[in-house]
Amino acid sequence: MALTPVLRRLRGRRVVLASASPRRRDILGYTGLRFEVVPSRFPETLDPAAFATPHDYARENARRKALEVALRLRAKDQRAPDVVIGADTVVAVDQEILEKPEDKEDAMRMLRMLSGRQHSVITAVAIVLSPTPEPGSDTVAPPPDPEVASLFHEETRVTFSELTEELMRDYVDSGEPMDKAGGYALQALGAALVERAEGDFLGAAGFPLNRFCRELQGLLGATSDPV
């Protein structure tokens, strides 16, 4: 999906990705969008059991990450960025949420749960916009609060092959960073564990780019120009 009209609208605007994930940074960079990275400090201590579905849990994490950065930067700079993008990815099997493993043994536990089974990789995205002050408004008044303009998620259904203990141990000991939900990355060596995947591949990798582009176009009221 071409983002040319949107990029034009965002020229000179401050766009922030509220994530330290190099995967999200790289995927968002595919668009040609100019942005800066300011990782969120939201502690991610929400109780998954307090949410009706894994989707709701991921969406709330994404929302809070984006708002934390928007409000922090507004306090620091006296003006929130024009656009802040927050995201959260979880793996769910039988409605149980698997987040980042605590250590190698926790990663082994998760891989055993996923072996030979289908699970969901859910990535939620929040787009926060900073309201534009009305012309002639009081410049002494506090700046308006940033607002969540779009909150959505994409789900990818992933099926693992039957994994042997030796294969799982080799994977865990391979040096792959243990910083991913479910203990594996679909776009890295973890792809060797996957028999098939249905849905948004980039969403499973951490950022649903196609949906994001469509949402951003809708928010900014841009129409597709000929390329």
Domain positions in the chain are: 4-135+145-220
- Whose CA is closest to 129, among 107, 150, 100? 150
Given this model, what pLDDT does residue 65 score? 98
Q: What DSSP letter does each residue of 78-136 carry, written as one string? A: SS--SEEEEEEEEEEETTEEE-S-SSHHHHHHHHHHHTTSEEEEEEEEEEEEPPPPPTT
Given this model, what pLDDT does residue 223 score? 44
Helices 22-29, 209-220: crossing angle, 10 deg rounding: 60
Given this model, what pLDDT does residue 80 score? 82
Residues with catalytic annotation? 88
Given this model, what pLDDT does residue 222 score? 53
Give the global pTM: 0.87
Given this model, what pLDDT does residue 163 score? 93
Mean pLDDT by 10 residues, the chain (227 residues): 74 93 93 94 93 96 97 88 96 90 91 95 96 57 79 96 93 81 79 91 93 92 46
CATH number for the 4-135+145-220 domain, one of 3.30.1490.190, 3.40.50.2300, 3.90.950.10, 3.30.470.10? 3.90.950.10
